[in-house]
Amino acid sequence: MQLLKDRIIRDGKNLGGGILKVDGFINHQVDPVLMDACGQELARRFSNVNATRVLTAEISGIAPALMTARYLGLPVVYARKSKPVTMPDTVYLTVAPSHTRGRSVELIVSPEYLGRGERVLIIDDFLATGATILGLVRLAQAAGATLVGIGALVEKIFEGGRDALMPLGVPVESLVCITSMDHGQLVFKE
């Protein structure tokens, strides 16, 4: 998606170590016009999977998931990283490593919002190693839901996440794919 690629080129920062800083438009400050366009494109790509829920991880996945769900006419469920007092005692919980936090984080979903028979589309900001998305997959499986697709705004191909997700047998779509971040350069797949 050229709009997103252009924005990454203009405002993204390669911090080294595989970290792409996109805080100014995706995950700290959000550009709603860009997210709307990304959501529309992801919804187009997944229009035929008959999803009933969009699932994502708190917090960076919420904006693209919300906009995708808007165009699909679906609710968004996001995995929380801490359990609020309003959540029931019995929850779906898994742990996934966080590349940007440098530690593992909990992902928690209430069974009130994700259950048996749901058809789940996972949307996140990044597909890197696939660890966070695989955590979301485990939550969907624990709920008895069926995974129907996985979408990401940015895929860092060199981290192998797509290969980790392929055994799931569902469509995996990324709007922008980066093949290398070596020597301070961003190299995009055409």
Q: Between vectors from CA 43 to CA 121 and to CA 172, what angle results, nearest 5°? A: 50
What residue spans define the domains of the chain? 2-188
| pLDDT value of residue 102 | 73
CATH number of 2-188: 3.40.50.2020
Which tens digit of pLDDT belongs to each residue from 118-155? 999 999 999 999 999 999 999 999 999 999 999 999 99
pTM of the predicted protein model: 0.95
Which tens digit of pLDDT belongs to each residue from 39-94? 999 999 999 999 999 999 998 999 999 999 999 999 999 999 888 888 888 899 99
Q: How far is it, in rounded angstroms, from Cα 92 to Cα 114?
A: 9
Max CA distance (Å), the chain: 48
Eight-state DSSP code of residue 80:
B
Residues 144, 52: contact at Cβ < 8 Å? no
DSSP bridge pairs for 19: 16
